[in-house]
């Protein structure tokens, strides 16, 4: 059955649902203090812990908060969402630091030969990592676990033995689906959905994650100006924690941010197999601009879709420039390029070729698990959003593509938007 086609025709002048109007009204009535003391004290109260570990994160957290606090266009709801996220990250930091202090043997865990998917956001990375993660020999990160990697020892399982962390993730997804109903069609975030490891970097208050939920050019500049090697070491410790809880021999990971952090990535995971996805940059830009402009209707008083188009056109170029610059840091025998149109034509064959590079045999069991995942998660399950950079943003695809000659001359990417 063909997926339902969905057109978002109100990016510039949103027509809000009743649920969105109620959520926005609630946000305007709630005072939120976007400050470091406010966030950290709430995290201490939530966990009963006080030791955050090294203090260098405070400067980064302060920037996360101040840039949003000083933006008059941020809605009260947007401020609430950001504060709640930061409190969760700070609470996760407390619990992670406490766990490793009590169980130093976690440091002895080894992260061996991970398969790491990198590529522009909206270029098939999510579908690819979920396909590979269906192979139960590999460890991966479901969203619910990434949101709260360490359980609260004071909590008991819920009805049916459900982990309270899983239930909170499910409740959050239900609320997001209600307040932003088209998100499911653009970026599924069910609790079991295999997620990016960015969530495991957020307790260190770094990564490009907040660029997706806020207008944060000051943070972007700060982040790009600082070496991220120490923050990738933090990520590795987080992975060791998850592996200590639920062991596997190998991991599959994915994050578009790694495109511009290949140096720190390879220093941290020197034996990794790197899988790079490649897609028409214009298709990626119009998709990223659409999803973030759609989210702006509840986070900002003015949606300003043109801001998101300009931002992501620049941001995607930076990501690709860095990836081309640093490509030599990846051993050629452990790097595999995936062209989007070839992946969409035969996704299982793509996984088989990745396994060959990663020296991982494709067993009948693994193939069956991957095929089961595909049956249960057909493309367009939640509908298919139709992206239109001309109609929605008044942009010329050819002009958007012009700055990408350095990339398109190197990789045989098929033009999707004309």
| Mean pLDDT over each residue of the chain, to the nearest integer | 95
**Distance between CA 257 and CA 36 in Å, rounded?**
25
The model's pLDDT over 371-395, given as tens digits with 9 standing for 90+, comes to 999 999 887 666 788 999 999 999 9
2 — pLDDT class (breaks 50, 70, 90): low
Instruction: Report whether 94 contacts 54 (CB < 8 A).
Output: no
H-type helices in 70-163, by residue range?
76-102, 125-133, 143-147
Tokens of 39: 């966030």
User: Does residue 1 carry a pLDDT above 60?
Assistant: no
Question: Which among 105, 373, 408, 194 has a CA at the least distance from the CA of 284?
Answer: 408
Q: For the chain, give the percent of residues with pLDDT over 70.
A: 98
What would the pLDDT profile of 327-382 be if each residue is shown by its tens digit?
A: 999 999 999 999 999 999 999 999 999 999 999 999 999 999 999 999 998 876 66
In a 13 Å sphere around the CA of 178, the CA atoms on its Cβ side amount to 13
Inform me whether the pLDDT recorded for 300 exceeds 60.
yes
* pLDDT band of 147, cuts 50, 70, 90: very high
Rounded CA gap, 320 and 307, in Å?
20
DSSP 73: T
Between β-strands 115-119 and 273-278, what pairing exists: parallel, antiparallel or unpaired? parallel
Reported as a single tens digit per residue, the pLDDT across 175-206 is 888 877 787 778 878 999 998 999 999 999 99
CA distances from 211 to 148, 219, 289 (A): 21, 8, 12
Answer whether residue 273 shows pLDDT above 80.
yes
Q: How far apart are CA 79 and CA 22, in angstroms?
A: 15
State pTM to two decimals.
0.96
Q: What is the pLDDT of residue 321?
A: 98
What residues does each domain of the chain span?
5-151+162-408
What are 213-241's pLDDT values in tens digits?
999 999 999 999 999 999 999 999 999 99
Distance CA 332, CA 266 (A): 13
* pLDDT at residue number 139: 98
Instruction: Please name which of 297, 343, 376, 272 lies closest in space to residue 13, comparing C-alpha atoms.
Output: 297
pLDDT value at residue 3: 64
For residue 179, the model assigns a pLDDT of: 77
Q: How many residues does the chain have?
A: 418
Confidence tier at 154 by pLDDT (50, 70, 90): very high
- Asked: is 5-151+162-408 a CATH 3.30.830.10 domain? The reply is no
């Amino acid at each position: 059955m063909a997926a339902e086609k969905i057109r978002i025709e109100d990016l510039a002048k949103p027509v809000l649902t009743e649920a969105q109007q109620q959520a926005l009204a609630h946000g305007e009535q709630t005072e939120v203090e976007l400050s470091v003391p406010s966030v950290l004290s709430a995290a201490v109260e939530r966990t009963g812990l006080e030791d955050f570990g090294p203090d260098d994160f405070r400067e980064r957290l302060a920037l996360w908060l101040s840039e949003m606090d000083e933006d008059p266009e941020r809605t009260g709801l947007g401020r609430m969402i950001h504060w709640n996220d930061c409190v969760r990250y700070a609470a996760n930091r407390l619990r992670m630091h406490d766990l490793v202090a009590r169980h130093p043997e976690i440091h002895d865990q080894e992260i061996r030969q991970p398969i790491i998917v990198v590529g522009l956001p909206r270029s098939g990375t999510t579908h690819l990592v979920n396909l590979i993660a269906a192979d139960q020999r590999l460890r991966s990160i479901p969203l619910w676990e990434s949101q709260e990697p360490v359980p609260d020892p004071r909590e008991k399982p819920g009805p049916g033995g459900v982990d309270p962390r899983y239930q909170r993730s499910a409740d959050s997804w239900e609320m997001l689906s209600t307040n932003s109903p088209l998100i499911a069609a653009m970026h599924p975030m069910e609790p079991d959905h295999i997620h990016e490891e960015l969530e495991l970097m957020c307790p260190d208050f770094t990564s490009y994650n907040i660029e997706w939920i806020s207008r944060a050019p000051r943070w972007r500049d700060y982040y790009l100006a600082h070496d991220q090697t120490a923050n990738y070491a933090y990520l590795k410790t987080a992975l060791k924690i998850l592996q200590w809880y639920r062991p596997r021999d190998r991991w599959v990971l994915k994050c578009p941010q790694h495109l511009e952090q290949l140096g720190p990535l390879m220093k941290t995971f020197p034996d990794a197999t790197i899988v790079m996805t490649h897609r028409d940059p214009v298709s990626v830009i119009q998709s990223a601009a659409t999803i973030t402009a759609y989210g702006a209707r509840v986070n900002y008083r003015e949606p300003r879709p043109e801001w998101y188009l300009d931002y992501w056109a620049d941001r995607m170029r930076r990501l690709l420039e860095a990836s081309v610059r640093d490509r030599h840091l990846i051993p050629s025998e452990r790097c595999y390029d995936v062209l989007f149109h070839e992946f969409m034509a035969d996704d299982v064959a793509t996984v088989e070729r990745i396994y060959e590079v990663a020296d991982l045999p494709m067993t009948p069991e693994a193939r069956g698990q991957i095929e089961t995942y595909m049956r249960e998660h057909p493309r367009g399950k939640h509908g298919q959003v139709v992206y239109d950079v001309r109609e929605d943003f008044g942009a010329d695809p050819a002009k958007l593509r012009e700055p990408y000659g350095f990339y398109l001359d190197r990789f045989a990417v098929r033009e999707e938007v004309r």
